[in-house]
Structure 1
């Protein structure tokens, strides 16, 4: 039996932080709106009122199902990129998606400025996809199929349900599949090309730690929130009713109710709702000021009283706090059950099996450890599924995301990763002292993150300069 470390873990990266958004533009919005590892677009609007905010992109794969479906009766070409057209309809669909997923009260750029940013982002995407094809990079059909099954599972749907929902919404499954392939291709290309350009020497690291100590010791927070949106022209009676609703949810969360489930049920923030409201671990400077100020008063695991923003009422929970200056980081101890997938045991069947296993455990008919020993197709099964203590970043993203959303003792719903279907239980969390090597690794990660965005910008400009781009006027 293969050891569990080969199944769920990546190389250890103590005190790792979530990556920066690729650009302060609309770049790759189809990759970002519903992914927990990036902040929601509206949450990054911290500029002064006289500055037009821009929507950040991301390096992560969207779990959004509705990427097509806007009806149009006329279309025309706005730009041609290496013989690939960008149409008016493409731009309008992307604009509509941004607008539809922004919570009430979010401050978006003016419509024409937003369209310009979307068109600019689409040009970059076309350029990069063209480059990926030129160098022979592609995404195999099996990987696309696996991604679709994963997205269906994250939306608590079967593949049959997913197809039925798309058909009901007037969406074309093949177009969705092609779009997903492009998302995966862009994600892989950007990580490979940009990461390889970032070289950090010992001298760079020493200088960074000596000359900028505050930067590599910056507090990083993982907060989750539930947004109860308040309409812009809400009456006092409506506001009072929404506040009462928010306070009721806050009381339930503070008393130990599953915060992630509450977020999925009540939150108006579509960019974090499917991830249980979690924004992911990120530096305080990259979070809304309201969230930072509220989290400063909390201990890990606590839920704050209801706070108000322009978007509405927020229930905020501090999931994790990291500060290399304090020389600690959060470790988690978990156990899991793994059911592998293959053509004879597809994802949908294994999810159904895992739901039945979970039902028996939660119902008290058996124990998690017993079911792990009986069913887990992983080296940890003999230990009752125990994975030991792990630092942030040691598990694959799907596993880590689900684990972070749990409270000690809680059991996840089935989680799909590249290795199969997992059932995860968080046993406990603790703060651990960083040694000197880990401090250097933490600082190196911060420095890499600082360099990623400007390196990406430089790489994207070079690709764009070498591409054939023809802009066309609207008829």
Structure 2
């Protein structure tokens, strides 16, 4: 029987939007030899915490389930264990960093996320549980994996997102518009690329000898690939990226979602071709083009506007971020359509919209901060979001209506490009932050 595959859409902070991920879970089976003995056996020390062999064995079984579901020959077991242990170390470090930043996910939020998963798969929560357990997986572990994703998203939002900006010049470059071409200049035809990569990692502040060694390793890998080596197997075995066990595959990307040097390198490539080593933020990258397709275009002359209102809550002096989120959850639990405007007037801390019952009116793409827009885009008219974090505070968002209005195709293209660049820059900065977190940690691997 094939493992259950469910699409989970998570926001940067909450289960109302953007990061589409497939979560698969392997059977939760006790390790052989007795639980007590396994729990006393340490696979790795991470700062003042540990990863036990029992935890590692369970994670390895999950990874093997994912690999079997994709088909093909399994990598050697020592490769799988090494990659999974590194992933577990990074997850442990993220959990500790989240705790230091006061970030947690309570059961109320977790239950809402699971309800969202069920709804988007067209089933009830009870049916979701039955499907998970029918395929031999632990629903408790399923819940904890979703909790981990939510914690990771909130951590990223707090430590990375506030620093991300996108300039008009970056949008022009992504659209292939020459500098100084002016408004209305034609954009280059849009293409999207399905990509895989191998990362030869470098520590932060690498010296000349380390850079030279990494370059030599990357050159040797490219030589192997051009002689016919299997890219996915090589990525699984040697890549330092977190997606190594996926064969290095990162899915579809537009040029705007790639660093400019990478977009230029693959711009004229065909499916199956491999780049020379490219210097990236974390080391040297080798990129393979799996497929190429034309990107979708916005409907000519039409843009979608949203009529929306919100309630904004900010932290009082000495109040934690999580306490504000709890206030937002309690407020949401008591809201109904008639009560939203009254609650906004009484409690919203947005001085511009609070007197109007939280009304922001009709907004077009690009008018609001990205986190707010992504959460808003995931709502149907009449729905109220879970609490959404932006740089302004915590929002409860209600979409009242949507409409299509006449607009310029160029405006829609620029909005799409700006969003793609924003996502790409978040990924880059998050990777840098995680690598720094790993480099600065005390890790003692005892396998």
- Range into which the TM-score falls when normalised by the shorter chain: 0.3 to 0.5
- 1 or 2 for the larger relative contact order (CA 8 Å, sep ≥6)? 1
TM-score, normalisation: structure 1: 0.44
* Structure with the largest fraction of strand: 2
